[in-house]
């Protein structure tokens, strides 16, 4: 059994806590045992689980792994501390808010012989799986992925290319490694409005555009417009709801990694994709700032 603490009791942390208490039957998650949770607020206990201090979580020998569910700006520090303390880490995306930090954290995990798992639930949604099937085998001519949503606090969530890493991950998983060709960020702080537009070239020199637009009242929505040599895909294909929750699927993958059930090749491919996406996020930020 692996003792686990959840750090950060927001939306994601609360779901994690419930999923850890109710592991899917006969799944790898049955090897995870919730020891407690860490919060900056004084919450006492949640669903019968006791609150412990960060120091206790870092030093208790029965804690083998931490689920980092805090806001993005805190990920780097938390991951570093838990890895240094010899604990495995699961972190909600993005792993960090700079490419340098992401690389350093991966190196630290390797040095310590610990798992650093970055959640990417956007790749296991039924919507995404259906889209992936629809794109599979087609040759891209050009494409746009457009995301809209409510405003985020840049201080806590990071530059939009990092907080929107899920969209970048979609594009890379669908079309392979990309090169950033240009990027701009339009902002109107008075209206809490921001619009990031990033252009990429695929390996076969096809153009892709990612637009991430946020403002109060904007509906959380993704739109695609992909032109292939064989036709146009201008809407996300409809999909049904999966039977196992996304966080539970992710937790199972983490448990499989702890149990040594994920192949070296799969781990290497995943790490390459994650670091490539973080690198793209960093380049987009540099384009916008210059």
Which residues bind to ligand NAD, rule: CB under 6 A? Answer: 7-13, 38-40, 69-72, 74, 92-93, 121
Q: Quick one: tokens of 172?
A: 């890379």
For the CB of residue 228, give the shortest distance to ligand NAD in the complex, in Å.
Answer: 29
Nearest-CB residue for ligand NAD: 10
**What stretch of H or E contains 256?**
helix 246-258
Q: What share of the chain is helix, strand, coil (3-state, %, to 5)?
A: 40, 25, 30
Nearest CB to ligand NAD, comparing residues 150 and 176: 150
Q: Quick one: tokens of 166?
A: 């899920």
CA separation for the pair 167, 241 (Å, rounded):
20
**Cα torsion for 177, 180, 181, 184, to the nearest 10°?**
150
H helices of 43-198, in order, are 54-59, 75-84, 99-112, 126-135, 154-157, 160-163, 165-175
For the CB of residue 118, give the shortest distance to ligand NAD in the complex, in Å.
Answer: 10
Q: Quick one: tokens of 143?
A: 């494409």
For the CB of residue 237, give the shortest distance to ligand NAD in the complex, in Å.
Answer: 22
Nearest CB to ligand NAD, comparing residues 93 and 175: 93
Nearest CB to ligand NAD, comparing residues 12 and 288: 12
Q: Is the peptide bond before 206 cis (omega within 30 degrees of 0)?
A: no
For the CB of residue 68, give the shortest distance to ligand NAD in the complex, in Å.
Answer: 8
For the CB of residue 208, give the shortest distance to ligand NAD in the complex, in Å.
Answer: 23
Nearest CB to ligand NAD, comparing residues 93 and 200: 93
For the CB of residue 40, give the shortest distance to ligand NAD in the complex, in Å.
Answer: 4
Nearest CB to ligand NAD, comparing residues 72 and 106: 72
Nearest CB to ligand NAD, comparing residues 95 and 224: 95
């Amino acid at each position: 059994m692996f003792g686990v603490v959840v750090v950060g009791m927001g939306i994601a942390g609360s779901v994690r806590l419930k999923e850890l208490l109710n592991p899917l039957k006969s799944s790898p998650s049955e090897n995870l045992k919730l020891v407690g949770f860490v919060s900056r607020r004084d919450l006492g206990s949640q669903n019968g689980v006791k609150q412990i201090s960060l120091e206790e979580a870092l030093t208790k020998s029965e804690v083998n792994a931490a689920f980092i569910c805090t806001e993005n700006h805190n990920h780097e520090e938390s991951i570093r501390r838990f890895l240094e303390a010899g604990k495995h880490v699961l972190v909600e995306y993005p792993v960090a808010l700079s490419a340098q930090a992401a690389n350093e954290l991966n190196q630290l995990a390797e040095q310590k012989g610990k798992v650093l798992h970055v959640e990417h639930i956007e790749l296991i949604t039924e919507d995404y799986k259906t889209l992936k099937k629809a794109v599979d085998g087609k040759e891209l001519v050009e494409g746009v992925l457009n995301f809209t949503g409510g405003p985020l606090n840049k201080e806590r969530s990071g530059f939009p290319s990092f907080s929107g890493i899920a969209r970048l991950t979609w594009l890379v998983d669908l079309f392979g490694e990309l090169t950033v060709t240009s990027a701009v960020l339009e902002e109107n702080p008075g209206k809490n409005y921001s619009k990031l537009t990033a252009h990429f070239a695929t390996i076969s020199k096809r153009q892709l555009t990612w637009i991430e637009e946020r403002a109060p009242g904007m509906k959380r929505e993704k739109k695609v417009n992909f032109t292939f040599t064989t036709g146009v895909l201008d809407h996300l294909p409809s999909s049904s709801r999966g039977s196992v929750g996304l966080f539970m699927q992710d937790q199972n993958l983490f448990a499989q990694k702890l149990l040594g059930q994920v192949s070296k090749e799969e781990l290497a491919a995943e790490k390459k994709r994650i670091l490539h996406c973080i690198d793209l996020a960093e380049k987009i930020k540099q384009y916008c700032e210059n």
